[in-house]
Structures are given as structure tokens and as C-alpha cells.
């Protein structure tokens, strides 16, 4: 999956002023690569990830996913893409407390009334190293383990590209390094991964780092 980001502009309007968040942002992403997006707080990293994932639309510009203009799709079609092709992991996203690890990972099947794909589930829990946690509840997990569950959910749903906002932000050094290693293993499976981050250790492992001013 190749992604082309062409001349993206985004502004927000308040009572007293217009705030230009993104101005003429252009770049491309290649399949199976790990990218980081850096910049000061408030520079538009989260806004850009939201546009790339089809959560919001830019004021101007296009996001081309293979041959599809994501920015021209209806909200329903963009939502469908996020269920199966594009995974967006916001900074505040958490696992659902009342569901087991396995149920959290296979949540997409619940929404679509499908049976759990046991073969796929087995694959992703082994990639993320959480096979022994499948029947546990979130309250029994560490922060790093919970983050792995969220990544596992994205892989289970079949995402070809994952956008994550500060994926190591609230983790200790050991867990940050573990998550960085997992991201690299995910890209080795052919998944494109972009993280908005301030984590220098994560950026050192990226194939390319983009800077927002």
C-alpha cells in the first residue's frame, strides 16, 4: 500500500481568530516502512494523523491510498476503511475494561456479527507476545501489555497501515524499547506504521522522520 499526501491544509476557527495548523503538507509513505512524525506540541501532529486516517477532512489537499482518494470518500466509507485497512490509535485510546484481552482484540467481529477468526487471533497474539494473556482483563495488565493489546487489535482487523499518536508516551524505558521492537516486527510483516512522537529512541529506529514546524 502506497500513500501519497498532497498539499494538505487545515485551519481551525475560533471567535477571535483563525488558527492555521497545517500548511501545504506533502510527503509519501511506502509499504512496510516505519515513519515518525515529530514537532513541538500544538504543531499539528495529531491533526495530520487524523486526516491520514480519514477521521477528519482537510480544508484543501488529498490523501491518496493506493488509487483511492481518501479525502473524497463519504464518512461511512472512511469508517469502513478504518475497520479493515487503516488503523488509528489515538493517544488516549485504552482497552475496554469489561472485556478480556481476546475480546478486546477481536472487537471488530462483534460489531460486524462475525465469528472470531481463531487462526488470525493466534497469529497476532504471538506476534505481540501476549498469547498467555488472552483470558486476562485489562486491570491485570501492565501499561506495556495494554499497549500491545491495542496493536494486536489493529493487526487482527487486517490493517495495512497503522497511525499511532504518542504510542510510548506513558511507558517506562523497558516498555518503550519493547514497543519500538514490536513496531519494527509489525513493519516486517508488510504493515506501514507512522507514529507521532517525542520519543528519541523511537525515532532512532524509524526508516524516516518527518518534522512539522
- Distance between CA atoms of residues 125 and 132, nearest Å: 9
Q: Contact, 92 vs 146, CB < 8 A?
A: no
Cell of 15: 471567535
The number of helices, as runs of H, and strands, as runs of E, in the chain is 8, 9
CA geometry: angle 24, 40, 22, nearest 5 deg: 20
pLDDT at 99: 96
pTM value is 0.92
Count, residues in the chain: 213
pLDDT band, residue 14 (cuts 50/70/90): confident
- Distance between CA atoms of residues 2 and 32, nearest Å: 10
- Distance between CA atoms of residues 152 and 118, nearest Å: 13
Cell of 97: 475494561
Cell of 123: 497469529
The strand order across the sheet containing 192-196 reads 86-89, 161-165, 192-196, 34-38, 208-211
pLDDT in tens, 110-153: 988 999 999 999 999 999 999 999 999 999 999 899 999 999 99
Average pLDDT of span 171-187: 91
Amino acid at each position: 500500500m502506497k500513500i501519497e499526501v498532497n498539499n494538505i491544509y487545515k485551519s481551525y476557527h475560533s471567535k477571535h481568530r483563525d488558527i492555521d495548523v497545517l500548511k501545504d503538507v506533502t510527503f509519501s509513505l511506502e509499504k512496510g516502512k516505519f515513519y515518525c512524525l515529530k514537532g513541538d506540541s500544538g504543531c499539528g501532529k495529531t491533526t495530520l494523523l487524523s486526516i491520514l486516517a480519514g477521521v477528519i477532512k482537510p480544508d484543501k489537499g488529498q490523501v491518496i491510498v493506493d488509487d483511492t482518494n481518501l479525502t473524497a470518500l463519504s464518512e461511512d466509507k472512511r469508517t469502513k476503511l478504518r475497520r479493515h485497512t487503516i488503523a488509528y490509535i489515538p493517544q488516549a485510546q485504552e482497552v475496554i475494561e469489561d472485556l478480556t484481552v481476546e475480546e478486546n482484540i477481536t472487537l471488530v467481529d462483534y460489531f460486524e456479527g462475525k465469528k472470531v477468526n481463531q487462526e488470525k487471533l493466534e497469529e497476532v497474539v504471538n506476534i505481540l507476545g501476549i498469547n498467555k494473556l488472552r483470558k486476562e482483563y485489562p486491570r491485570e495488565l501492565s501499561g506495556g501489555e495494554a499497549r500491545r493489546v491495542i496493536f494486536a487489535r489493529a493487526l487482527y482487523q487486517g490493517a495495512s497501515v497503522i497511525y499511532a499518536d504518542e504510542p510510548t508516551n506513558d511507558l517506562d524505558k523497558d516498555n518503550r524499547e519493547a514497543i519500538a521492537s514490536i513496531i519494527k516486527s509489525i513493519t516486517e510483516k508488510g504493515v506501514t506504521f507512522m507514529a507521532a512522537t517525542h520519543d528519541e529512541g523511537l525515532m532512532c529506529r524509524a526508516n524516516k522522520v518527518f518534522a512539522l514546524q
